[in-house]
Structure 1
Amino acid sequence: MAREFHRADRVADAMRRELAQLIQKEVRDPRVGMINVNDVEVSRDLATAKVFVTLVGEDDREKINASMTVLNKAAGFLRTQLARSIQMRSIPRLHFRYDETSVRGQELSALIEKAVNSDRKHNDDDSDSSED
């Protein structure tokens, strides 16, 4: 049976695609670097949208906060640009959020890799001592 798509899901997907292009082409502030639009969550009443973004190659918390401030100030402009490309009666208000899931995922991957390497080293030491 096919999955039922709700209108909010379809709007969120369209907004994600358009915002990725708009931010890249239209936002010319030097404080905003390379941005990935990871997800958009649109409320059921289509009034607000949370836009989850990550900054490529950026770890400095001050620069991340500055970029998020710029994006939230440009939300009205981006909303106007969205209205030109997406045919809807009203475009949801945009609220940009920094998405820390990729950073957290990298931290967890590093911890797992460290544990695997430690386990291998421990197993290698055990096999060397049993050969004596």
Structure 2
Amino acid sequence: MKKTTLFKSLLAMTIAFAGSKSFADNYVQITSIDELTTGSYVVVGGTSSNAMSTTQNTKGTFYMKIEAVTVDGDKIVDPSTSVIWTITKDDSNGTFSFSANGKYVSSNGDANSSKLIDAIANTAQYNATFEDGKFKFAC
């Protein structure tokens, strides 16, 4: 059974990835670090209805663009594929990576920004914490 979730988060940097989805998937809010497992996610910021898009801005500072989604209680129904990310948990070191369309979200060095890269790297592996109802990812 495919697990799909709405991921409410406060990100240390803007990071996002997308994957494929089947028709009319429901993404349900998760509220603990234990619920964060390998699967398909929609990442939204705090109480916002803006999701992290799989499209990268390339003008000026690098970051992932945002796209509006409709949040209905604790779920998002049938979101656009452009906001669906694959989050993968590496059980060997407890980190998480975000991917979409063969690209990985990577820290962009000291800058408070991110970029898409072609292969997994140390800069694309994030430690996750959950505090005050929000997820935080740090590279």
Larger radius of gyration: 1
Q: Name the TM-score, length of structure 1 as normaliser.
A: 0.27
Q: Name the TM-score, length of structure 2 as normaliser.
A: 0.27
- Looking at both structures, which has the greater relative contact order when contacts are Cα pairs under 8 Å and sequence separation is at least 6? 2
More strand by share: 2
More helix by share: 1
